[in-house]
Chains A and B, each alone.
Chain A
Amino acid sequence: MTSTETTPFREAPIQPGDLLLSIENLHACVEENEILRGVSLQIRAGEIHALMGRNGSGKSTLSKVVAGHPAYTVTAGSIHYRGQDLLGLAPEDRARSGVFLGFQYPVEIPGVSNLEFLRVSCNARRQHRGQEELDTFAFEDHVRETMAIVQMDPAFLERSVNEGFSGGEKKRNEVLQMALLEPLVAILDETDSGLDIDALRIVANGVKKLALPTTATLLITHYQRLLDAITPDFVHVMAAGRILRTGDKDLAMALEQRGYDWIEEADGSDTLQP
């Protein structure tokens, strides 16, 4: 495992435009059901991508396969991260090397302090990057500063991870984790769902701040309002486990107006129904 490297390892510098994530003809199934049916997607440093599509089209599945969820089996295709075979890495090593998934449904972990969880997690990533690990005191300063990005009350540090958090609070906690881990590729799965109007603006601004010319972001969303705040370079539409169409921000606008039917019809959706 790469996690026990003793020599400090610094991530090689990234230039805008470098290929960060490359998904080729990815097929994945869960309990015999094929959910992903040949997804291909290229994501470069400096880009913001939006992934849209009907409920059940496979968006979350794609994000979890990238993060390494054990329930999904990849049956064909590949995922490369910075040229390296990502599928060969354990989930924790993917995270340590800079792949981040903000969950659509973050789980509650009773009894585990949010502060301690965030500290252990942040240090795991820091260790991988050859940075000094932060002790409790140093981390507390660091996390309080970082919380300002999503305007989160430090009181959330004292609570158990996500336990009893409202839907919106959970999503902010996800963005806080993203800010602490400083990923190179961040996939945010419906981070905008469940946020009130002000929270949406705050979170969108936070994500925008974290999107650098040397990092890439994949926003999974159903709503134009997020994309009004963060302008995507590419918009992809997923249907029945495939990316059916790719366009720019205008495609998202068209979807907002017209729904999904016209695309599926145009692309011959009958062959794609499960």
Chain B
Amino acid sequence: MSSAATVEALNKTPYRYGFVTDIETEKISRGLDESVVRLISSKKQEPDFMRQFRLKAYAQWQTMAEPDWAALKYPSIDYQDIVYYSAPRQKEQKASLEDVDPVLLETFDKLGIPLSEQKRLSNVAVDAVFDSVSIATTYKQKLAEHGVVFCSMGEAVKDHPELVERYLGSVVPIGDNFFAALNSAVFSDGSFVYIPKGVQCPMELSTYFRINSDDAGQFERTLIIAEEGASVSYLEGCTAPMFDTNQLHAAVVELVALDDASIKYSTVQNWYAGDENGKGGIYNFVTKRGLCKGRRSRISWTQVETGSAITWKYPGCVLRGQDSVGEFYSVALTNHYQQADTGTKMVHIGPGSRSTIISKGISSGHSVNSYRGLVNMGPQARGARNFSQCDSMLIGDQATANTHPYIQSRQPEATVEHEASTCHISEDQLFYLQSRGIEPEAAVSMLVSGFCRDVFNQLPMEFAAEADKLLALKLEGSVG
């Protein structure tokens, strides 16, 4: 098979999570104004500080415009045509998993995320979020024994209002950007994690986001706080049904690490990417930021981005603590007409802070895949160091890869190193594998996963194999 034919075959990608769950939902009508913000807040029976937070955000959002600097093209989004609150109808208070609607449990079973007691993933606690509402959190009891709080954001607002009030919006201010402001006004749910001083979280924590509805926007909010000397590894996964319309997903994630704390945040994003003609798919506009507040604190972002019609996402670190460490490891794979504009922001404030950026972009089909990264060395960041490596791989001759590194330094004693490369999938490597009996599709996915190895090595063990499989699946053709 010629390499052109191989690429042709690769472009026929199946999406295995495209089903819709038939469940009764509570939805409010389309559109957004102040009364909608108040309605969401009252539906969630929120305390006053939360309502004020939302209203302030809404007021800010109204004065802002959608950012237009990313290398993304899409028809303008009608914010009045979106449903801002949609929740599966369930019993009021879910005392235990047994009270969760079996249809929902079945949905997560089908997604490979069993929530029921007997089948749970061992040593991984899961918060399952369905259309932006948390429906179940596993292993809560066991985590509580260690003082770890892992619950939905809604519960956190009720049970730990002081923590939420103190930290929510402290890393991503409500007016940070258009999408963050929107999220701050209307967010429905998400996950909350609190690791007390000196505690190493005894298991992986993970949130699984599932979009089900075709007209509701998805606005989750995640907040993770690691106290002094605490550590946690957290993973999020995402899927959505195949609709031929686009759904807006605008999440905000905030991480706070105090002295000697470490947070490892991994994402395997597989939102529906649209069909081979670019119809449908998720618009993913996400703000993720970690604050290395304490000395020697460490925040590490690892992302494997394979889905969404549009990805706009720059998980970053504000390295305020002296000798704090920020890391960003990313694989972004785009195919068909997908567009990804993704990268990171490393803001060095503290002296001796260090950051590492490893980005691997793979573009196939007619897709556009851009890396956009900012490294900022503040005036106090003496001895700070950054190393960035951005590699792009092109499959076929219709895809585009861009790299936009921005470096700003106001500290002469800070070091910034940047390396970048772009390559085509090599005909000789492909031939070498084929000449050893390996099918072209398998050979391409082997080459791609080799290209991404440095990033996969950063994923928690259980998920590295998953990520490998996901890439293979995304590249799988229908010939054979």
B-contacting residues of A (Cβ < 8 Å)? Answer: 1, 3-4, 67-71, 90-92, 94-96, 101, 103, 106-107, 109-112, 117, 120-121, 124-125, 128, 160, 177, 181
> Which residues from B are CB-within-8-Å of A90?
1, 434, 440
Task: Give the docked Cα–Cα distance between A155 and B432 (Å).
Answer: 22
The CA of A3 and the CA of B440, in the complex, are separated in Å by 11
Once the chains bind, are A71 and B437 in contact (CB under 8 Å)? no
Residues of B within 8 A of A92 (CB): 434-440, 443
**Do the beta carbons of B446 and A112 come within 8 Å of each other?**
yes
What 0/1 readout, one digit per residue, does chain B (60-79) give for beta carbons within 8 Å of chain A? 00000000000000000000
What CA separation (Å) do A70 and B435 show in the bound complex? 11
Contact in complex: A70, B2 (CB < 8 Å): yes
Q: Is B442 an interface residue (CB 8 A)?
A: yes
Q: Judging by beta carbons under 8 Å apart, are A121 and B436 in contact? A: yes
- Note all chain A residues with C-beta closer than 8 A to B427: 70-71
Given A4-B480, A91-B431, does the pair A70, B437 have CB atoms closer than 8 Å? no
Is B433 among interface residues, defined by CB-CB distance under 8 A? yes
The chain A residue with its CB closest to the CB of B446 is A112
**Alpha-carbon gap, A90 to B2, bound state (A):** 9
Q: Is A96 within 8 A of B450, CB to CB?
A: no
CA distance A121 to B447 in the complex (A): 14
**C-alpha gap A68/B427 in the complex (Å):** 12
What class of interface size applies to chain B in its complex with A? 20 to 34
Q: Of A69, A110, A111, A124, which is within 8 A of B436 by CB? A: A124
B204 within 8 A of A: no
Choose among A92, A95, A160, A177 the residue with the greatest number of B CB atoms under 10 Å from its CB: A92
Report the minimum CB–CB distance from B450 to chain A (whole Å): 3
Query: CA–CA, A190 to B59, complex, Å?
Result: 74
**For A111, what are the chain B residues with a Cβ–Cβ distance below 8 Å?**
449-454
- Complex alpha-carbon distance, A225 and B116, angstroms: 69
Contact B438 A107 (CB under 8 A): no
Give complex CA distance A216, B453 in Å.
38
Whether B3 is near chain A, meaning CB under 8 Å from some CB there, is yes
Contact A117:B431 (CB < 8 A) given known A92-B440, A112-B450: no
Give B6's nearest chain A residue, CB to CB: A70
Evaluate whether A117 and B434 lie within 8 angstroms (CB atoms) in the complex, with A3-B480, A109-B429 already known: no
Q: Contact mask B442-480 → A, CB, 8 Å, 1/0?
A: 110011011111100000000000000000000000011
Tell me if A3 and B439 are in contact (CB < 8 A).
yes
Residues 197-249 (chain B) with a chain A CB within 8 angstroms: none
B145 at the interface (CB under 8 A from A): no
Interchain CA distance A117-B432 in the complex, whole Å: 11
Contacts of B451 in A (CB 8 A): 110-111
Report yes or no: B480 in contact with A181, Cβ–Cβ below 8 A.
Answer: no
Q: Is A107's CB under 8 angstroms from B480's CB? A: no
Are B435 and A109 in contact, CB atoms less than 8 angstroms apart? no
Q: Which residue of A lies closest to B453 (CB)?
A: A111
Is the Cβ of B436 less than 8 Å from the Cβ of A181?
yes
Determine the distance from Cα of A3 to Cα of B1 in the docked complex, in whole angstroms.
13
Please provide the chain B residues from 1 to 54 with a CB less than 8 Å away from any CB of chain A in the complex.
1-3
Give the shortest distance, in Å, between B201 (CB) and chain A (any CB).
30
CA–CA, A109 and B2, complex, Å:
20
With most chain A CB atoms within 10 A of its CB, the pick from B428, B436, B450, B452 is: B436
Q: Report the nearest A residue to B1, measured CB to CB.
A: A90
Q: Which residues of A contact B442 (CB under 8 A)?
A: 120
Give the Cβ gap from B16 to chain A, nearest Cβ, in Å: 20
* Interchain CB contact under 8 A, B434 and A106: no
